[in-house]
Amino acid sequence: MIFAKKNDGNLASLVKQLDKALVEFKDAELQAVVHLLGEDRDELLEQAKKMETKAIPVTVPVESETGPENWSINPDADLTVFTYKGKKVTASHGYVDVTKKDVQNILNSVKKVAS
């Protein structure tokens, strides 16, 4: 589960690679969803429509500025990623500026859940 305050090239790269991981690890029945966060809900809805994904839904939550309160999303992070198995969170990543290395760390967490 991804909560993103910045829709940029790093988010696009992460989503593209997650799309591939969902296919690669299809036996693990992985799922993903991207939640876009920000002040302008209408703009976020337009961005969600334009994101290129094959298997990952892109949504704008009702709490579009901060995300759901009970998820403990880092208010300073541009990107918060939760990986979970069943109903248990296995990893949580919060990033102010997402780098290619961060994207790889997130993908590694996904692979751990898949195995």
Task: Give per-residue pLDDT as tens, 35-51.
Answer: 999 999 999 999 999 99
Give yes or no for residue 73 having a pLDDT over 80: yes
Residues of the domain holding 59: 2-21+30-114
Distance CA 113, CA 115 (A): 6
pLDDT digits (tens, 9 = 90+) for 1-24: 999 998 888 888 899 999 998 888
- For the chain, the domain total comes to 1
* CATH, residue 43: 3.40.30
Q: If phi over 0 gives left and psi between -120 and 50 gives alpha, with beta otherwise, what is residue 29?
A: left
Cα 25 to chain centroid, rounded: 17
pTM of the model: 0.88
